[in-house]
Amino acid sequence: WQHPWTEAGATVRNTARPPKAHNQPTLWSGTHQHANINSLPNTRAIHKHRSIVPVLHFDAMCSSLHTIILFCALMHLVSLACCAPPTDEAKGAPNEAPPTIPTKPKSELQKFVDSIRSSPFGTFDKDTRDDCADIIDACWSDIFANIFVECAATCTQQLEQPRMNGKASDASAFYDLPSVRLQRPTNSKSMQMEDLEGYVVIVAIVPLIPGMAAYYYELLEHLHSSFRPNLEIVLLPVDVGVEGGIHLVLHDPPHVRVLQEIDDATSNAMIRYLLDVKPTSGTASVLTRADGTTQHVQSNLNLDRVTMYLLSADGMFVERLTSPSMNALQERVTLFMKSMDYDEL
Higher pLDDT, 312 or 140: 312
Per-residue pLDDT at 73: 75
Q: Are 275 and 266 in contact (CB under 8 A)?
A: yes
| Secondary structure class of 316 (helix, strand, coil) | coil
Task: Output the DSSP codes for 6-34.
Answer: PPTT---S--SPPPPGGGS-SS--TTPPP
**Cα–Cα dist 123/136, whole Å:** 20
The torsion angle over the Cα atoms of residues 68, 69, 75 and 80, rounded to 10 degrees, is 170
Please name every residue paired with 90 in a beta bridge, in sequence order, or none if there are none.
none
pLDDT of residue 35: 43
Higher-scoring residue by pLDDT: 98, 24: 98
Q: Please tell me the distance from the alpha carbon of residue 99 to that of residue 331, in angstroms, as a whole number.
A: 53
**Interval 210-230: pLDDT, tens:** 889 999 999 999 999 999 889
Average pLDDT over residues 224-251: 90
pLDDT for 237 beyond 90: yes
Q: Which residue has the higher pLDDT, 238 or 83?
A: 238
Res. 37 pLDDT band, cuts 50 70 90:
very low
Mean pLDDT of 270-280: 93
Mean pLDDT of all residues in the chain? Answer: 76
Burial classification of residue 124, based on how many CB atoms lie within 10 Å of its CB (0-12 exposed, 13-18 middle, 19 or more buried): buried
Q: Where are the alpha helices (DSSP H) in the chain?
A: 43-48, 53-82, 88-91, 108-118, 146-150, 152-159, 212-227, 269-275, 326-338
Q: Is the pLDDT of residue 316 over 80?
A: yes
List residues bridging with 202 in a β-sheet.
233, 310
C-beta separation of 274 from 167 below 8 A:
no
Does the pLDDT value for residue 51 go beyond 50? no
CA separation for the pair 131, 144 (Å, rounded) = 14
* Cα dihedral across residues 211, 213, 214, 217: positive or negative: positive
Which pLDDT value is given to residue 75?
Answer: 75
Looking at the chain, how many residues does it have? 345
**How many alpha carbons fall within 13 Å on the CB side of residue 121?**
3
- Angle subtended at Cα 14 by Cα 9 and Cα 15, rounded to the nearest 5 degrees: 75
- For the ranges 203-207, 250-254, 276-280, 337-341, the maximum mean pLDDT occurs at 203-207
Mean pLDDT of 65-82: 71
Q: Residue 333: what pLDDT?
A: 95
| Identity of the amino acid at 74 | L
Starting at the earlier edge strand, list the strands of the sheet with 278-282.
257-258, 231-238, 200-207, 307-311, 317-322, 161-167, 278-282
Under a CB-based contact definition with an 8 Å cutoff, are residues 302 and 294 in contact?
no
Judged against a pLDDT cut of 70, whether residue 101 lies above it is answered with: no
- pLDDT tens sequence across 118-177: 654 457 999 988 999 999 888 887 778 788 989 999 999 999 999 999 999 898 999 999
Q: Is the dihedral of CA 119, 124, 127, 129 positive or negative?
A: positive
Average pLDDT value for residue range 192-196: 93
pLDDT confidence band for 293 (50 / 70 / 90): confident
In the chain, the percentage of residues whose pLDDT exceeds 70 is 63
